[in-house]
Amino acid sequence: MNALAPLQHAFQRRILGGDAAILDDVVGNAIASAGERVGVYVHAYASRLAEALENEFLTLRYAAGDEAGAAMFHDYVMATPSLHRNVRWYGRGLADFLQAAAPWQDTPAYAELARLDWMIGLAFDAKDEAGLVEADVAAIPFERWGEMILHLPQHVQRSVFAWNVGQVRQCRDRGQPCPPLRRLERPQAWIVSRQNLEVHYRELQSDEAAALDAIAAGRQFQALCEALCEWHPQEEVALRAAGLLKAWIGNGWIAGVELKG
């Protein structure tokens, strides 16, 4: 047993870093040399990581195609060691990798597609949280609404995209051909969330995105209303803010509320 641990570590170093020390302890034969035998495991390890990425980044693979998708996943595996025991988290850095690594950086939409896929995965895997209900807000005196600080649940994920990645995802989900990747005239804010074990996503209107930014920053409801003044006359802001809050509660986007005077 004392010799097993060093042998395992040597085997691990071969798989992860190419260290050849393990080959001295592997017996080859006429069918396969020691290097070929160990190479089976080296190849299998990388293949399983690439397979995990293929299953996680569905929109990216759909848009890039099988050949380019396989190549980018392979490049990521070769450049990125797995540091987590759960392979679910292995693709955390894929978007950043595609944004910086040649030749994938030449198509910025790839990084955004990876980011959208990761958001969808995070929304699906997020822990269950009891959402706010309208009665919780109704119990707060209206004159103190401005002091409310709302909290977003973990399943709510947001990002801003400069490319038509939302359209690409919609086409994939509908079983339609992939549209050409194109840069948008203006960046779009998108939100991903989970409701009843089903993931939903959509583009946010500019005022709604600004209001959610205020919530995410921990600002009071009054500051949210002030942000809406950029898009609405002052006399209409209260109604718009109340309407948004009602919709967010219905969507399960608000996990809690606190008052800070």
Across-strand partners of 258?
Answer: 149
CB-based contact 76:97 (threshold 8 Å): yes
Same domain, yes or no: 95 and 221: no
Last residue of a domain, one of 106, 134, 160: 106
Q: Does residue 113 fall inside a structural domain? A: no
What is the predicted pLDDT for the residue at 19?
Answer: 47
| pTM for the predicted model, two decimal places | 0.85
CB-based contact 190:164 (threshold 8 Å): no
- Count Cα neighbours of 70 within 13 Å in the Cβ-side half-sphere: 3
Tokens (6 digits) for 13: 């170093």
Q: d(Cα 165, Cα 161) in Å, to the nearest integer?
A: 7
CA quadruple 180, 181, 185, 190: dihedral, nearest 10: 120
Same domain, yes or no: 61 and 136: no
Containing structural domain, residue 151: 125-259
Query: Cα-atom radius of gyration of the chain, to the nearest Å?
Result: 24
Same domain, yes or no: 101 and 185: no
Q: How many residues does the chain have?
A: 261
Same domain, yes or no: 139 and 94: no
Structural domains counted in the chain: 2
Q: What is the CATH number of the domain that holds 214?
A: 3.90.930.50
Same domain, yes or no: 91 and 36: yes
Q: d(Cα 261, Cα 258) in Å, to the nearest integer?
A: 10
Same domain, yes or no: 255 and 150: yes
Distances (CA, A) of 145 to 97, 133, 210: 43, 15, 18
Q: Does residue 234 fall inside a structural domain? A: yes
What is the predicted pLDDT for the residue at 48?
Answer: 86
Closest CA to 181 of 261, 255, 112: 112
Burial (0-12, 13-18, 19+ Cβ within 10 Å), 167? middle
pLDDT of the chain, 261 residues: tens digit per residue: 456 556 555 555 555 555 455 555 555 565 656 555 555 555 567 778 899 999 999 999 999 999 999 999 999 998 998 888 888 999 999 999 999 999 999 999 999 999 999 999 999 999 988 888 999 998 999 889 999 999 999 999 999 999 999 999 999 999 999 999 999 999 999 999 998 889 999 999 999 999 999 999 999 999 999 999 999 999 999 999 999 999 999 999 999 998 875
